[in-house]
Structure 1
């Protein structure tokens, strides 16, 4: 049985991938409030923070029912080929490029040896954005177990709600207010982004019984409130500290959960097929094709950013780098990924979310 394709999944993959590039071109947000344009950079950081959660939510929505189409061995094998082999391959390519000064000077202590590569690889030092794949590996290993919960949506909602209360709400509140709290009071089975995987599946499969029209409106308001709280608290606390206050820089806090869930639900409930643009079959095919390139774009984008900065001596605080360059990098990486996909020998190294 083939997997049905949903237009909103493709659109979410594209916008989330572009949002990731915006975040990584917006590095000045970590420099501190004394940095020029920092308030605007913080708005970009807060406004696009849903990108990573959306990837995990789409993963859950598309894979928790894999047993309807394939065996666990086939599922894990396809994920290994589609995600983790390309991740390893590009890690090796980037490591060699940095050792040879092609992406700037190599970090101190690196050497052209297997042990040096292994240490840099496992320490997520080769490409800072590749931490995501280690997290995805843990999520993937959990999916064969999580898939058995499909017939127990009450248990799945329990995991999401309890995790969102214990870790997503209480933990940030205690940190903001300086109240003692033992982080061992948790629900580990939903940790490590598993909560987003479960939430994505639940929201994708919901027929309007749980997330009714009225609750959707409440969720949208709550999502906007989550953005406002994170921006307002971070701006004020950072000004007081004279440095970036990272208290709410956590994907599993409610300030990230609510906007991410709201965006996912919004994209699901828009009738994209009725829009004149998407009545054209070629447009929908192009969106699907672009969605298929997003994995390769993610793999490549940070290296392309580094090359642009190195070759053109770009000012990272400029509006061009933070607001225009992301579109250029997205286009360049799309073209490279498309080209590599057409070459049989190397097609496997740009993989796919599958």
Structure 2
């Protein structure tokens, strides 16, 4: 009899926090204006603090899914995963495509431009909501999961694949940054072992093969240091060419990028840190609520940009609103929309079952 795998309660809490971090990232996008003022500096800080969000999403997915063969066959895996993600993508795209311009029309009198052809074009080119790139990326990762699930069965082979991914995605670009000529290391980048696959494989490796974890305080210290490096280096890189400096150039987020080396180390540190408190999180009275919120995270991701755009039509921008209040309001409203949507789908399933 196969022993039951331990429950990772900490992943639910980290998933909820990462979900809020995504909202925070999209509430501080004024950083890309590269203004150089007080709000811009705060934006850089919060962008650095919250950049772990998407890496952690992919790591949690990899940790939970690469071992699917122990639970069910590949056909069942595809049905379960694609049904959830593709359904969410399609329904969310329809809602956003219709509701966002409709709300803009009602609130601000913006001309309506809704058509079936426009929806199809927007859906096929990810033009309905640009952050939906995540759905397309996770679908591709699901498609290659049967291949990498076999790789994951061998610790050494999986570790080697992760090293290639890290070299291609994080190390080589960082070295190229300081190369006088550039371009040489790009010749050695592995084309298919890169980008988000790095986190997908790494999540499984950390959970299933890392028996010895660094002390919690060490993980916390590493996380803080990574945030500091990303924030300081980003300010240092951009300060000479912000609007305030009088020599404008586009915002450079190289050091605070989700596919950067410091974001990688930061995400790994958080994985280790939260793992230390698994039992405490699982036994907490608030855990059932955390678990339910975690189950709503995909819906929150899908809906929060529409909430942001709608609030932008009625609430004037300010530092207090943009950074202090808006993220919490957006998260709460998106959470409510996700909950309503989930309840509606559960109701329709009950009707079909009768």
TM-score (norm 1): 0.86
Look up the match of 1:23: 25
From the superposition, tell whether residues 116 and 96 of structure 1 become closer, same or farther in structure 2 (CA, over 3 Å).
Answer: same
Residue 96 of structure 1 is aligned with which of 89, 98, 116? 98
**Which residue number in structure 1 is paired with residue 342 of structure 2?**
341
| 8 Å Cα contact 2:62/2:199 also seen in 1 | yes
The alpha-carbon deviation at position 125 of structure 1 amounts to: 1.9
1:170 equivalent among 169, 172, 176: 172
Aligned counterpart, 1:314? 316
The answer for the alignment partner of 2:332 in structure 1 is: 331
Once superposed, what is the RMSD of the aligned Cα atoms? 2.8
- Structure 2 vs 1, CA of residues 229 and 176 (structure 1 numbering), >3 Å: closer, same or farther? farther
Residue 338 of structure 1 deviates from its aligned partner by 1.9
Give, in angstroms, the shift of residue 166 of structure 1. 3.6
Correspondence for 1:351: none
Task: Give the CA deviation at 1:45.
Answer: 0.3
Per-residue deviation, 1:283: 2.3
Distance 1:112 1:6, change over 3 A: same
Relative to structure 1, is the Cα distance of residues 34 and 344 closer, same or farther in structure 2, using a 3 angstrom cutoff?
A: closer
- Aligned equivalents of 1:234 and 1:285: distance in 2? 39
Q: 1:195 aligns with which of 194, 198, 206?
A: 198
- Alignment map for 1:187-226 (pairs within 5 Å): 187-209=190-212, 212-213=213-214, 221-226=221-226
**How many residues were matched structurally?**
338
Q: Which moved more, 1:149-158 or 1:334-343?
A: 334-343
Paired residue secondary structure (1:338):
helix
Question: 5 Å matches for 1:239-278?
Answer: 239-242=239-242, 243=249, 244-270=251-277, 272-274=278-280
Cα separation, partners in 2 of 1:178 and 1:219, compared to 1, 3 Å:
farther
Deviations 1:242-289 (A, max 9, x none): 24223335322202111011111111122x4347xx534x52222111
Aligned to 1:42: 44
Asked if the contact 1:17–1:51 (Cα under 8 Å) also holds between the matched residues in 2, the reply is yes
Contact 1:14/1:291 (8 A) holds in 2: yes
TM-score (norm 2): 0.86
Task: Extract unaligned runs of 5+ from structure 1.
Answer: 349-354
